[in-house]
Amino acid sequence: MWLNNRGLLAGVFFIVVGLFVSVYGQRWNFGSFTRMGPAFLPVVLGFTLAGLGVGVVIEGLRRPEPLPAIEWRSLFFVSAGIIVFAMLARAGLVYATFLAALVASYAEPNSRLLSRVLASVVITGLVALVFVKGLGVRLPLL
Amino acid sequence: MELFNGLKLGWEVASAYDSLLYCLFGVTLGMLVGVIPGIGVLAAISLLLPLTFGMNEVHAIIMLAGVYYGTRYGGSTASILLNLPGDTASAVTCLDGYPMARQGKAALALFMTAIASLFGATFGFVVLMFSGPGIAEYALRFGPAEYCALMLLGLVAAATMSSRSISKGLAMVMLGLILGLVGTDITTGVQRYTFGLFNLSDGISLIVLAMGIFGLSEVIISARHADSQRRKPEISLRSMLPNRGEMRMSILPAFRGAAVGSFFGALPGTGSTIASFVSYALETKVSRTPDRFGNGALEGIVAPESANNAAIQTAFIPTLTLGIPGDAVMALILGALIINGVTPGPLMIENQPEIFWGVLVSLIIGNVILLILNVPLIRVWTSLLLIPYRYLFPLIGICVAIGAYSASNNVFDIYFVAGFGLAGYLMVVLGLPIAPLILGFVLSPLLEQTLRRALLISGGDYGIFLRSPISATLLAVTAILLVVIVVLRWRGSPAN
């Protein structure tokens, strides 16, 4: 039961989500077959998902596949970049874009600071031009 | 014959100097907007809608239609080059288009997309010519039970199209269906799975989901290694053109795709999205080498692109003759028509044939324009790939963020897209096919509605699905499909 099994992890994920959806969905009206309530489909789908999850686990045990290497660095910096953008977007597109691009660029460890900053400046310029001037996206520039 | 009169009339209208100009304008604009990752058809059309006020209505729709498929093509360009679909129908193009680009065949992919689109549009037009009113009639025979069965078939087809694991595919479909249920239930007004978050009460935005799961996850995967994994794209004119073998392998998929597209386009309520998915799934079933799909199979883009455009053509039937739009874009176009004083409906072909036929012919002309425009432009797009990825990927990330924001002018969506990016990465790590999730998500509301209505009509009796010949056939095909795939998988596994 080594955790390095793709199928196993995926299956467990499905089972957990499926059960959660079904159980959580019971707070609404299930309704009858004639008049499906809001809970009908969620509960049915949730159980089906959990059932399929069992199938995926079995497959995973029969034909184990190892997990590929996880790009933690990329994961962290790209998400951080997007979140920085989200936090600053309303304050000014220019700040948001520049900082977000800068942060995200760290996903690539082999660049120099200068090229990162330059690239971010160019990106900011492009974005400001195309999205705000060109397409009228509703965000304050500065 | 009446049809050929229509064709003649359409040609006269569409090839008039100013119609051509508007078509060119619409197509070019649409394409440029569509290339920007995350900006899709809806955004483009909404931007241009105000321009149509005061325009001659034929010119208005010609332009809007041009924007529609121009944006689609641009979206395919983004899908192929960056794995960032501009909208859902382009998402399917990512599956094989992006691998093709990684193998250096971006120019070929882009060129074949244009050709396939032209083919699909022409095929759709021919279908239209010969069966316009007949199609509308047939389409009306599709009640809720039939639609529901059709959705089911589409979903099962999508689930089984990944060559790996059916359980995973089906599970992803379920997950997509569940995600589609998040938000306010239209029929009862109950808020489902919103956990008190106001931002979720309208449900998850499709663009946010697709961009995060496809685009951001791709950025995460590639940020470090992209340049080493990517072959330098071939940019010469000759590299765009398919060789004989590639041409031969594209013909049948193009036909199949166009047939599928014509079918789904004509049905009110379904459109190019489901057409492209089903067409892709069909190709994976029909192919003798299904393992090539997902790794740069040319059929994997030719068929869906052909389906796409055929669907757009035939979608004008229910839109123009029944006033029932096939998807949100058609709804917008319908709105534009009404604003301009045109009343769509069964009498439209009789009373205003120049609009009906003019638009249809302009679709073909527009695709020709796209093809011509793009021959030089393909070089430009593929040269963009020469930029080292380390500079490109932050830009892509920002585009995704802005695209997510502009879906509903909501900063919250940017957080969501980040979340979906993580989820998408998780799915890739776990080896889960993403496309079935997207289709499940898109079809979820329709599935629930049609199921509800079917059961309501039949009084809770599931027999309604079996009594209707159309529905019964569809369900039978679905069952057969499942059984065949399972059997093939079981027989295959000892050999593996």
Helix/strand/coil (H, E, C) string of A19-53? HHHHHHHHHCCCECCCCECCCHHHHHHHHHHHHHH
Expressed in percent and rounded to 5, the helix, strand and coil fractions of chain A are: 70, 5, 25
User: Which neighbouring-strand residues pair with B207?
Assistant: none
- CA end-to-end span of chain A: 54
CA–CA gap between residue B312 and residue B262 (Å, rounded): 8
Higher pLDDT, B472 or B306: B306
Is the CB of A100 less than 8 angstroms away from the CB of B47?
no
CA B492 remoteness from chain centre: 32
- Residue B496's pLDDT is 39
A-chain residues near B465 (CB < 8 A): none
pLDDT tens-digit profile of A38-52?
Answer: 888 889 899 999 999
B-chain residues near A117 (CB < 8 A): none
Type of residue found at B68: Y
CA–CA gap between residue B94 and residue B72 (Å, rounded): 13
Burial class (CB in 10 A: 0-12, 13-18, 19+), B376: exposed
Give backbone dihedrals phi and psi of B32, rounded to 5 degrees, phi first. -65, -40
The residue of chain A with its CA nearest to that of B225 is: A108
Query: Is the predicted pLDDT of residue A116 greater than 80, yes or no?
Result: yes
pLDDT tens-digit profile of B14-57?
Answer: 777 888 888 888 888 888 878 776 666 766 777 677 777 777 77
CA–CA gap between residue B299 and residue B280 (Å, rounded): 8
A-chain residues near B192 (CB < 8 A): 25, 28, 38, 42
Q: Which one of A48, A75, A104 has the shortest CB-CB distance to B394?
A: A104
Q: Which long-range contacts (CB under 8 A, 24 or more apart) does B6-12 make?
A: B6/B129, B6/B349, B6/B353, B6/B356, B6/B357, B7/B129, B7/B357, B7/B361, B9/B353, B9/B354, B9/B357, B9/B358, B10/B354, B10/B356, B10/B357, B10/B358, B10/B359, B10/B360, B10/B361, B10/B362, B11/B361
Check: CB of residue B421 under 8 Å from CB of residue B157: no
Helix (H/G/I), strand (E/B), else coil: A5: strand
What residues 20-39 of chain B have any CB closer than 8 A to a CB of chain A?
33, 36, 39
Type of residue found at B484: V
pLDDT band of residue B494 (cuts 50, 70, 90) is: very low
A-chain residues near B418 (CB < 8 A): 79, 82-83, 86
A12 touches chain B (CB under 8 A): no
Going from the C-alpha of B461 to that of each of A29, A39, B306, the distances in angstroms are 20, 19, 39
CA–CA gap between residue A99 and residue A86 (Å, rounded): 11
Sequence-distant (6+) residues with CB within 8 A of A122 are B391
Helix (H/G/I), strand (E/B), else coil: B165: coil
pLDDT tens-digit profile of B427-484?
Answer: 988 888 887 888 888 888 888 888 888 888 887 777 778 888 888 888 888 888 888 7
8-state DSSP, B232 = P
Q: What is the mean pLDDT of residues B238-250?
A: 79
Is the CB of B393 less than 8 angstroms away from the CB of A119?
no
Is the CB of A105 less than 8 angstroms away from the CB of B165?
no
Length of chain B: 496
H/E run at residue B192: strand B191-192
Helix (H/G/I), strand (E/B), else coil: B12: helix
CA angle (B171, B174, B177) in 5-degree steps: 155
CA angle (B146, B332, B198) in 5-degree steps: 85
Is the CB of B220 less than 8 angstroms away from the CB of A78?
yes
Higher pLDDT, A31 or A93: A93
Sequence-distant (6+) residues with CB within 8 A of B120 are B254, B257, B258, B261, B305, B306, B307, B308, B309, B310, B311, B313
Q: Which of B54-63, B226-235, B419-428, B437-446 has the lowest mean pLDDT?
A: B226-235
A121 touches chain B (CB under 8 A): no
Q: Give the count of beta carbons closer than 10 Å to the beta carbon of residue B17.
A: 6
Biggest distance spanned by C-alpha atoms of chain B:
68
Is the CB of B398 less than 8 angstroms away from the CB of A7?
no
The mean of the pLDDT values for chain B is 80
